Chains A and B, each alone.
Chain A
Amino acid sequence: MKGLHTLLWREYRSSRGWAIGLIGSLGLWTWIVSMINNEGVENRLALRSLIITVAFAIGVIVLSFMVGRLHTEIKHDEHRTLLLSPIPGYLHIVSRLVFAVGVGLIYAIGLGTLTWWVFSQAGAHLGASSIMQLVAAFPAFGIVTLLMPTLAWVLLLVLFANAYRLSHLTWIAVIVMCAGTPVSLLYRGINGLDHHLPVWTTAPGITDLFNRLAGMPTQGEGSMLTMAVPGVVHYGDIVGAVLLTGLLVFLAARLWEEMEG
């Protein structure tokens, strides 16, 4: 594990500009969200939520480019300086993934905190469970189900393309992998794990707000006591995403060992 510490330190040194820039952008998003003063609580809530979703998507893209810089590093043989003490291939992959996921988690928690502020501005009476759900549970869920597999896929893409660097076929490899991945996911059924699993329900504070905005009673007959988030939030997604990430990291590590080890 000593190698992992060295690689994490190295990753911090080479990517801290990206990390600080991304986390610093939370200030910009906060300013943009606070500038929205549309008429009507529903409009304000919808627009602010949209901006936070866009901010999360931009964060995923930025982090993908951050880990994708591995391509340039391999091209310039920058990691060769570490070969005096050989480090297993999977540690190279895991260190990059862990650093990027850590930065992503901080960013997502920041966005979750912003969401908490947006909901409290919309008049939601949030208890401890609602706050924990917005600030910790949803961001962690987004990181595990969306960011982790995406970054592992980007690392595999870089190493798969790198396997064809000498024969100058990287562009064919990239096209085949980019076209083949969605088809593979479709037919392999990894995302189908969640079909028979229970849905994640939102905490009462958030549910009350939606009940109120929808003009429904917050308690008793006709109210939505726990509002399920249909088709998106499933415990099965977590299992599927972790398995998928593990598989992608394993394949990327094998490629590293075969090409660079």
Chain B
Amino acid sequence: MILAPALLSIMQILLLVVLGYAEYRLWRGTSSPTARILSLLFSGTIAWAIIRPFMFTL
């Protein structure tokens, strides 16, 4: 019972780290400004979806 929220948080942090690394690779991987903005938008909304439930537990 105590571990469940902690594990969930660890999962969320891991997901955010993976997402952050993917975004870093995508940012560096193109010269197109539109592609960079789009990748930021998509990664940002995914990150928001990951963080949102976590914020309610604080």
B22 close to A180 (CB less than 8 A) = no
A258 and chain B: residue at smallest CB distance: B32
Q: What residues on A are CB-neighbors of B54 within 8 Å?
A: none
- Whether A259 is near chain B, meaning CB under 8 Å from some CB there, is yes
Q: How far is the CB of B47 from chain A (nearest CB, A)?
A: 9
- Whether A160 is near chain B, meaning CB under 8 Å from some CB there, is yes
A169 close to B26 (CB less than 8 A) = yes
B30 close to A187 (CB less than 8 A) = no
A183 close to B26 (CB less than 8 A) = no
Interface string of A167-184 (1 = CB under 8 A from B): 101001101110111011
Q: What residues on A are CB-neighbors of B45 within 8 Å?
A: 180, 183-184, 187
B26 close to A173 (CB less than 8 A) = yes
A183 close to B29 (CB less than 8 A) = no
A255's contact among B26, B28, B35, by CB below 8 Å, is which? Answer: B35
- Cα A251 to Cα B40 in complex, Å, equals 14
Q: What residues on B are CB-neighbors of A180 within 8 Å?
A: 41-43, 45-46
**Interface of chain B: mostly helix, strand, loop or mixed:** helix
Knowing A164-B29, A180-B46, A183-B46, say if A173 contacts B39 (CB, 8 Å).
yes
- Whether B57 is near chain A, meaning CB under 8 Å from some CB there, is no
Q: How far is the CB of A255 from chain B (nearest CB, A)?
A: 5
B41 close to A258 (CB less than 8 A) = no
B48 and chain A: residue at smallest CB distance: A187
B42 and chain A: residue at smallest CB distance: A180
A176's contact among B30, B31, B32, B42, by CB below 8 Å, is which? Answer: B42
- Cα A258 to Cα B37 in complex, Å, equals 13
Q: How far is the CB of A64 from chain B (nearest CB, A)?
A: 19
Knowing A164-B26, A172-B22, A172-B26, say if A179 contacts B32 (CB, 8 Å).
no
Residues of A within 8 A of B (CB): 160, 163-164, 167, 169, 172-173, 175-177, 179-181, 183-184, 186-187, 251, 254-255, 258-259
Residues of B within 8 A of A (CB): 22-23, 25-26, 28-35, 38-39, 41-43, 45-46, 48-49
> What 10 A-B pairs come out closest when comparing CB atoms?
A180-B42, A167-B29, A163-B35, A258-B32, A254-B34, A169-B29, A183-B45, A163-B32, A163-B30, A184-B45
17 interchain pairs, CB-CB under 8 A? A160-B35, A163-B30, A163-B32, A164-B35, A169-B30, A172-B29, A173-B39, A175-B22, A176-B26, A176-B42, A177-B38, A177-B42, A179-B42, A181-B42, A183-B45, A183-B49, A186-B49
